[in-house]
Amino acid sequence: MRLPIVIVIVAITCFSMVATPAFSQSSSADTQQGTAYGAGMGAASAVATILYFPFKGAFAIGGGIVGGLAYVFSGFSEQTAKNIWVPSMYGTYVITPEHLSGDRPVRFLGVAAESEAEAAPYEYEPLSSPAP
């Protein structure tokens, strides 16, 4: 009976060590930080992640396996595999307070970047050369 309790405590401890740095990197204005509301949203997002992550993780692992099989059986067609990998492996893995407040959408299915400009938002402009 004690083994499942120990496993749950170890899992929560490992999750809290990983989730705390992820939450500290939020880009929104942390006006609610240090308040009861902010603490409640943080606790709610941790509980939501604990419930959500196993499903997303299992879906991503399954998509990785199925995409790998599709890659092999389609004659090593990378596009066929990416059609499976992108929706299953991209998306939201950790629920943050911004997700709970509706500021950011939760994306169970991932979407690929429409263009290279979206994939690399900090693209540098080439230097213009003088006209001959």
Of the pLDDT bands very low, low, confident and very high (cuts 50, 70, 90), residue 25 is low
Q: What pLDDT score does 38 carry?
A: 84
Of the pLDDT bands very low, low, confident and very high (cuts 50, 70, 90), residue 71 is very high
Report whether pLDDT(61) > 90. yes
What is the extent of the structural domain holding 85? 51-111
104 domain residue, yes or no: yes
23 domain residue, yes or no: no
Average of per-residue pLDDT across 72-84? 92
62 domain residue, yes or no: yes
**Higher-confidence position of 12 and 90:** 90
15 domain residue, yes or no: no
- Total domains in the chain come to 1
Name all contacts of 63-72 with Cβ < 8 Å and 24+ positions apart.
63/87, 63/88, 63/89, 64/88, 64/89
97 domain residue, yes or no: yes
6 domain residue, yes or no: no
